[in-house]
Structure formats: C-alpha cells, structure tokens
Amino acid sequence: MQGHRPTLLAVSLAVVACAGELREPTTPAPPPTPVATSAPVACEPAPAPAPTVRERRRRERGPTDGNFVFSHFSAGVFSTILIQPATYWVATRVGETGHGLGPAVGALVLGAFLPPILNYTVQWAVGRSIAPGRDRFWPGFLVNQVSHLGIFIGAVVGGADFRNLGHATAIVLGEAFLNSGLATMTAELTRRPRAATAATATTVIVPVLEFKF
C-alpha cells in the first residue's frame, strides 16, 4: 500500500488539475470586425459643351431654305440683266443733254445709285413672296450697293464706254452674278430668327345644367 502512495498522489493531483480547468470560464472569441468596402462609383457622362454664339444663332435662324436662295438669286440676275442696261442708257442720255459739270454729275449719280435700288428691290420682293419676313432689306441692299459702286467706279476710271455693246455686256453680266450672289448670301446669313411657336393651352368650357324638383 505504501508503494502505491506516490501513484495515488499523482493521480489525485491530475484529477484536481482537470477539475480546475473545467471550472475556469472560457472567454468567447471576439466577433470579426466588418471591413467597409467602397461601393463602385457609377460613370456619369461628361456634360455637353456649351454652344458657341455662332452655333446658337444658327439654331435660332433655322436651316437654309434652298427655294428661297434660288429664287432670290435668280431674281437678282434677271433684274440686273433687264434693268441695268436701261439705267445706263438713261444716265448716258442725261450726261449728253447739256454742257458743263451738271449733266456729267447727274449721269454719274444715276449710274452709281439707281441700279442697286431697282435691282435689289425686285430681288427682295421675290424672296419675300417665297418666304415672307425671312430676310431684312438693308443688309442685302447695302452689300449690293457697295459691290456695284466698286465695279462702276472701276469701269469709269478704267475708261469703259457704256455705249459700247461689248463693254456694257461685260459690266452687266459681271454685276448680275456677282452682286446678286453677294446680296443673296448676305440675306441668307442675316435672316431673322424663327418665331418660337408657343404651345397655347385650349380651355374647354362645358356647361352644366342643374334641375331642382
């Protein structure tokens, strides 16, 4: 019995140690820390660039009207071919009516300022009949006048004879296409903006009859 005493003592100590371990409370493991993940950023479309002043004016004026351009230009060409020789003939007759500077100055004034007034008035009237209120009178007329003055002064200084059929034909045809083209281009580029069509609300009134008995 004495020989088994150390063994019993060791077994007792082991049992006591196991009981102590069973009595100690176990600490729970800490919960996992949530990791914040960034949400995917949606790709937003880039804002459209602001339109320039030229683009904004072009949108306000609207598209080009081919019928207006063709009619406006054709009227200018034909009116110049018909009216220009007549005005030059009248200016030549005025210059030959008397003596001194008076008739010569009168002929120059008629030849310099009368043709653009008559030609562009016809041109503008035809364009207005095609598209009423589309173009302004003064921009196209001023361009026509300046172009005519340049050709007329060049012809006078260059010694052109308006009574010569060849000289007169060259001057008239040159002005018919050049002046009319520049005037039509100016009228189209300076056309009025389109009228904004505002939506008008229509109010419908329904009469209601009430009968009392």
Residues 13-24 pLDDT 10s: 555 555 555 454
Q: What is the pLDDT of residues 163-193, one digit of tens each?
A: 899 999 999 999 999 999 999 999 999 988 8
Q: What is the pLDDT of residues 87-106, one digit of tens each?
A: 999 999 998 887 888 898 99
Q: Which domain holds residue 77?
A: 63-189
DSSP letter for each residue of 123-162: HHHHHHHHSTTSS-HHHHHHHHHHHHHHHHHHHHHTT--T
Q: Is 50 exceeded by the pLDDT of residue 62?
A: yes
* Cβ atoms 147, 130 nearer than 8 A: no
pLDDT for res 3: 52
Torsion 130-132-138-139 (CA) sign: negative
Domains held by the chain: number: 1
pTM of the model: 0.64
Say which residue the tokens 């009207």 belong to: 65
Assess if residue 194 is contained within a domain: no
Assess if residue 172 is contained within a domain: yes
Q: Which residue has the higher pLDDT, 100 or 39?
A: 100
pLDDT for res 79: 96
Helices (DSSP H) in 50-100: which residue ranges? Answer: 53-61, 66-95
User: Measured in whole angstroms, how far is the alpha carbon of residue 37 from the centre of its chain?
Assistant: 49
Say which residue the tokens 């172009």 belong to: 147
Assess if residue 79 is contained within a domain: yes
Assess if residue 176 is contained within a domain: yes
Q: Is 80 exceeded by the pLDDT of residue 72?
A: yes
pLDDT for res 193: 80
Mean pLDDT of 28-53: 60
Assess if residue 15 is contained within a domain: no
* Cβ atoms 123, 69 nearer than 8 A: no
pLDDT for res 49: 72
Q: Which two tokens stand for residue 11?
A: 């077994």
* Identity of the residue numbered 50: A
Assess if residue 50 is contained within a domain: no
pLDDT for res 107: 92
Assess if residue 156 is contained within a domain: yes
Assess if residue 164 is contained within a domain: yes
